[in-house]
Each structure stands twice: as C-alpha cells, then as structure tokens.
Amino acid sequence: MLRRAVGKSLAFVGFTIQYGCIAHCTLEYIGELVVCSGPSMEPTIINHDLVFSERLSRHFYRIEKGDIVIVKSPFDPRMNICKRVIGLEGDKVCASSPSDTFKTHTYVPKGHVWLEGDNLRNSTDSRAYGPVPYALIRGRVCLKLWPPPSFGRLSKSPTGRIIPRD
C-alpha cells in the first residue's frame, strides 16, 4: 500500500515537472499572451486588448519595419512595452515630435531598433529614450485575440506609416 502511494506521488511529481518544463519552453521560445495597456498604440491596440506575441522572429532576427513588438522598457526592466518598429539599424529616422517646428534626424545604430507608438501625440517611445537594443525585444505581436470583434492579424499601421518618418 505504501509502495503504491509513493509510486503515485513520484509519478505526479514527474508529470508536474515535465509539463512545467513544456510550459516554460512554450512561453520562452514560442510565444505568450500579453494584455496591452496604455494609449500609445491606439487605434491599432486599445487599452486592455489581449494579443499573442510570438518569439521565434526575434531569435532568427526576422523583425522588420512595421512590426509591432513587445519590448523590455528601457526605463524599467520589470515592465514590458508595446510599440511599432519604425527603423532598423542604419536607417535614418525623424527624432522629433509631430508638433516640433524644426525636425531632427538620427541614424539607428548597429544592434538597435527605433520604436514609436501609433498614437504619436500620446506615446513615450524612442523619441524620448532613443534607439532600443535588439536584445530587449521579447516578441513580435502577430494576432489580436480580444475583444472578439477585432480578432485577427496585426500587420500594418492604420496610418500606413511603416517606414521612417522624414
């Protein structure tokens, strides 16, 4: 009787560890569900929308201009942010706010990306903190899951702005 109980307990522990490892690998290397908050990506992603962020693209350096990415915040590494890739290394980008009279430009350095929110007037992005190291990218948002009426793929900006601004 005791042998059977110990055997079942060990089997349960083994299955728990096995499925825990599978869940960890899935979330770390394949993708995760993310609840986005804040106004910076409106109207593409509205406060509390649920999206799926796949992680394979970042491992294979497949992030492109126009992609929406989940990134570790340059200000607070415990926080993730959701922004659109506007420029890749070597690209010339406009570093000014839309309301600035004089426009300033900069080049994105090697190993970095330039990120901006779709809601340019209400977004803290690379215009505030500069180019973001590629290593801070956690994943590429490819699917909006919630709310149901807006379920589907996310690709292009609603303004069509997927290349560096001048």
Catalytic residues: 40, 83
Query: Measured between alpha carbons, how far is 154 from 83 in angstroms, rounded to an integer?
Result: 12
Residues 6+ apart with CB under 8 A from 132: 71, 74, 112, 113, 114, 115, 126
Asked if residues 123 and 86 have their Cβ atoms less than 8 Å apart, the reply is no
Residues for the chain: how many in total?
Answer: 166
Cβ count near 126 (within 10 Å):
24
